[in-house]
């Protein structure tokens, strides 16, 4: 099983990261070494096909995301009134919809 996750960080108040991992604890630990504030898990779900759902999400919404650097995909998404994703519920709703349609 893999974990599909949505995380936020108070240093980046209007952004969320969407990704997948085999071990969420290890992933958060790795990400946290580069920032002084801890990440908050906004949503997580264990799936056999988490990597597929993540690819679909990034494929559908990647144009609205940001790259951390040129070697990474667009995994950080702005949220807010003037953004495609108005709030956290919108991001999570889109993920749940992708899970539903791929079953």
Tell me the domain boundaries of the chain: 2-101
pLDDT tens figures, 30-48? 988 888 999 999 999 999 9
Sign of the torsion formed by the C-alpha atoms of 61, 64, 68 and 70 = positive
pLDDT tens figures, 69-84? 444 556 788 898 888 8
Whole-angstrom distance, CA of residue 28 vs CA of residue 12: 15
Report residue 32 as tokens.
């946290």
DSSP 52-81: HHHHHHHHHHGGGSEESSTTS-EEEEEBST
């Amino acid at each position: 099983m893999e974990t599909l996750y949505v995380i936020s960080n108070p240093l980046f108040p209007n952004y969320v990261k969407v990704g997948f991992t085999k071990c969420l604890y290890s992933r958060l630990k790795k990400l946290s070494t580069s920032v002084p504030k801890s990440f908050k898990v906004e949503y997580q779900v264990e799936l056999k096909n988490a990597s597929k759902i993540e690819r679909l999400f990034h494929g559908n919404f990647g144009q609205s995301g940001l790259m951390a650097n040129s070697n990474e995909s667009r995994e950080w998404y702005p949220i807010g009134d003037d953004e495609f994703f108005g709030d956290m519920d919108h991001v999570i709703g889109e993920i749940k919809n992708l899970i539903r349609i791929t079953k």
